[in-house]
Structure 1
Amino acid sequence: MRVSTLPLIILCLFMGFTFWVMAGAEQSLLAFGVQLMSSPDTAQVVIDLYILAALACVWMYRDGKSRGKGLGYLIPFFVLTAVFVSAGPLLYLVLRGGREPEAEASKI
């Protein structure tokens, strides 16, 4: 399997930082989310991120479908996106490997 190097590096750095921060956090991820949603200015940022996450899931679904991947293959990416937003699409890009779908490659 061929992986994409740049998304892999970004994913490793991001997840490493995330786990480091979570290890030293004084509250749970859920409590932190509730705290963010309690103020309109931070709630706007959270809502904006989840709109972006939803759009990323739509892209992953369409791209996966064009590559012959079923919904069962994509569910773990959607779950990861729901929890860590950018980690799901980054992992998808890593495993996608930058290859073109067979249908697109045959048109060239």
Structure 2
Amino acid sequence: MGEMMRNLCIVLTLVFCASTASKADGFDGSDNEDTYRQCVAKSARSTASMLAFQVMQNACLRLYRQTSALSDADKSYYLCLLRKLPGVNNDIHAQMAAKACGEPR
């Protein structure tokens, strides 16, 4: 139980940092910002693996804040990550799930 609480505290700290960093980097606050935050929050709740959380957070960033720079293949890759990584609770399984999605183009 103590390990789970520690992981939860780490994840919540990262979510807070991600949300405050988004204001500092000059993002204009459009609807994509809310969607991005929801995506990150959902990712934080859905895994105990820090690696899985970081990969999902990056996928959220790419899909909802940097989407104009992505090809359709890239979007499919990041969506795949968001489908496969929830529930992953260790880094080895996170690597395996991410590898199943292939590589971004």
TM-score (norm 2): 0.42
TM-score (norm 1): 0.41
Bigger Cα Rg: 1
Higher percent of residues as helix: 1
Larger relative contact order (CA 8 Å, sep ≥ 6): 1
